[in-house]
Amino acid sequence: MGKILKLDNVCYRYKDAKPDEYVLKNISYEFEKGKVYAICGKSGSGKTTLLSLISGLEKCEEGKITYDSKSLNEMDLDKYRNTCIGIVFQSFNLLPHLTAIENIILSMDISNIKVENKRKRAIELLESVGLNEDKGNRRVLKLSGGEQQRVAIARSLSYNPQVILADEPTGNLDHDTENEILNIFRELAHKQNKCIIIVTHSQNVADNADEVFELCKGKGMKKEDKQEEKNNNNDGKEAKKDKEKVKEVKKENNNNKQQNNKKSNSKKKK
Ligand SMILES: Nc1ncnc2c1ncn2[C@@H]1O[C@H](COP(=O)(O)OP(=O)(O)OP(=O)(O)O)[C@@H](O)[C@H]1O
Ligand SMILES: [Mg+2]
């Protein structure tokens, strides 16, 4: 099956919090490959915390997270982060004085991936997110926000992870660039069978995801019913159409009445 990541009753509170002050409470879900997931929720609801647990940056002490049926608590987390999980941060986390290509090669070096020609592979990855070699040779500092975000995505793909976690990846981008970045994520899920988990405040991102969740601080994660939402929207559209039809019929009736009145008036005059 395509299930790759399982959260099983995950609870989390920061060390300096009060004993009952949980950020995450009883979060359970199985994420599949081939899908884009959006996790929404108010600021402070625990979205970044959840990504930190999934990426092994924070340790899950209550409940269990498994990747490909192995508990994270039993895995070498550095290796896990450098091979299984790609992370895309809102602030990109690129080294600004290195070129885009150098950033990607560095990531391949850290993950110890065996690639014959790392430079060639870096250029291919950049091309897959719509950046040519010229841009690849430019220092990241001299790329636009949208371009830097593409480099960050290309870098997260450099060791071919199955899961990509993205924290507010379009938070600083305009609507069109957001759509372009979303298309990259959708292609990665639907054509390359990756599991993409995006934390976002953007309704546009949520609308374009395959599954959407709402996270509530200390309360858990609720799955939103996209089908119902669609139906509601469709119901709304149908209701609007019906109202318009009623208006048209009324207008026609009025016109007919007016014409009949005119006719009977002219007959009376005669
Ligand atoms: N290192 C930390 N130590 C203690 N508390 C923290 C720490 N990091 C976050 N928190 C607290 O945990 C809660 C959840 O924070 P988190 O960063 O996960 O929220 P978020 O949903 O990502 O918010 P935003 O949308 O603003 O990024 C907040 O109340 C925050 O203050
Ligand atoms: Mg956050």
Q: Which ligand gives the minimal distance to the CA of 43? A: 1
As a whole number, mean pLDDT of residues 227-234 equals 60
The lowest-confidence range among 48-57, 186-195, 197-206, 221-230 is 221-230
Which residue is listed with tokens 């924290």? Answer: 167
For atom 30 of ligand 1, the residue with the nearest CA is 44
H helices present in the chain, as ranges = 47-54, 77-83, 100-111, 118-128, 133-136, 145-156, 175-190, 203-208, 226-269
Give the pLDDT score at 200.
Answer: 95
What is the position in ligand 1's atom list of the atom closest to the CA of 49? 18
pTM of the model: 0.84
Model pLDDT, residue 2: 81
Straight-line distance from the first to the last Cα atom of the chain, in angstroms, rounded to the nearest whole number: 85
Q: How confident is the model at residue 264 (pLDDT cuts 50, 70, 90)?
A: low
pLDDT tens track for 101-127: 999 999 999 999 999 999 999 999 999
Cα Rg, the chain, nearest whole Å: 26
| List of residues 6+ apart from 178 with CB closer than 8 A | 170, 202, 204, 205
Domain boundaries, the chain: 3-229, 236-270
CATH class of the 3-229 domain in this structure: alpha beta
Q: How far apart are CA 224 and CA 100, in angstroms?
A: 37
178-207 pLDDT, tens digit each? 999 999 999 999 999 999 999 999 999 999
For atom 1 of ligand 1, which residue has the closest CA?
14
Q: Which of 24, 47, 89 is the pocket-test mutation for ligand 1 (most atoms within 8 Å of CB)?
A: 47
> What pLDDT score was predicted for residue 256?
65
